[in-house]
Amino acid sequence: MPSKVPDGQRRGWIIPIGGSENKENDRRILERFVSVSGGEDADIVVIPAASRMHETGSRYEQVFRDIGAERVTVMDFDTRRDCHETGRLERLDQASGIFFTGGNQLRLTTLLGGTPVAKLIRHRNAHGVTVGGTSAGASILSEHMIAAGDEGSSLIAGTVRLAPGLGLTNRIIIDQHFRQRDRLGRLLTALAYNPFAVGVGLDEDTAVFISPEEILEVEGSGGVTIVDGSDVSHSSIDKVGDGQPVCMLGLRLHILIAGATFNLNTHLAAAPGLQQSKE
């Protein structure tokens, strides 16, 4: 569960990115991540534990330094024992922004889940620290995480595997590389199992910046598919076997582009340039 925000404080930004974000010519997503993490005073910890490629962390370290962050540290984890080290916890406690790279989301949750590091990151986000991630690093940010699933657009029982995520928010279920890997079906199936949540399908080079007021704003060159199950009137997920199609009535779908918003409190979407109420 997300940590409780103390009285008089604001939760930090939560920033899931759909993967393959531009790191060269148009770095608007990563530049905005640095901006909401403190700008020139940003103190960022990069966690590349989802990836087995040794250069992943150093690449993001260089990008964030080039953008203008004051301090950037790469912090990898090889074992769960690493998540108990005092020095690592102290460094995370100093950060104004925490960033998870892509890779394998199950590797991330296997290493971090239920550890002091995971608890500290939830606590720091509740106290105003920005937390973001790309690809697998986006999937883990919510409480319910898509661990694996089949491609395709159909809602089919048993075609998605869910696992506990980091738990910064329980309002959404995130999927990434969305349009590029044809993942509508697995997001719909995940929502059939968790109809209280809002599905967020992120195209590549596209992010949602979730404000402390629970408003999602899209940034990047692609689209974001919002699937809202709050008005679902019927679901057959409890009656069909694995491999069988599922009937769901009352789903609402929005396709958002840069500047468009979706309010997690009111469940209202707004096109780019239109102001949205925070209530």
From the candidates 144, 177, 211, 235, which is the catalytic residue?
A: 177
| Phi, psi torsion values for 233, nearest 5 degrees | -105, -15
Residue 75 to residue 92: CA distance in whole angstroms: 9
User: Is residue 194 exposed (0-12), middle (13-18) or buried (19+ Cβ within 10 Å)?
Assistant: middle
Q: Is 230 helix (H, G, I), strand (E, B) or coil?
A: coil
* Residue-by-residue DSSP string for 138-168: HHTTBSEEEEEE--SSS-BTT-EEEEE---S
| Phi, psi torsion values for 12, nearest 5 degrees | -75, 165
From the candidates 143, 204, 217, 219, which is the catalytic residue?
A: 204
CB 208 within 8 A of CB 17: no
Active-site residue 204, yes or no?
yes
From the candidates 135, 142, 211, 235, which is the catalytic residue?
A: 135
Active-site residue 135, yes or no?
yes
Active-site residue 85, yes or no?
no
User: What CA–CA distances, in Å, run from 174 to 31, 32, 206, 251?
Assistant: 22, 20, 13, 17
* CA-based torsion, 14, 16, 20, 21: positive or negative: negative
Q: Is 107 helix (H, G, I), strand (E, B) or coil?
A: helix
Please list the active-site residues: 135, 177, 204
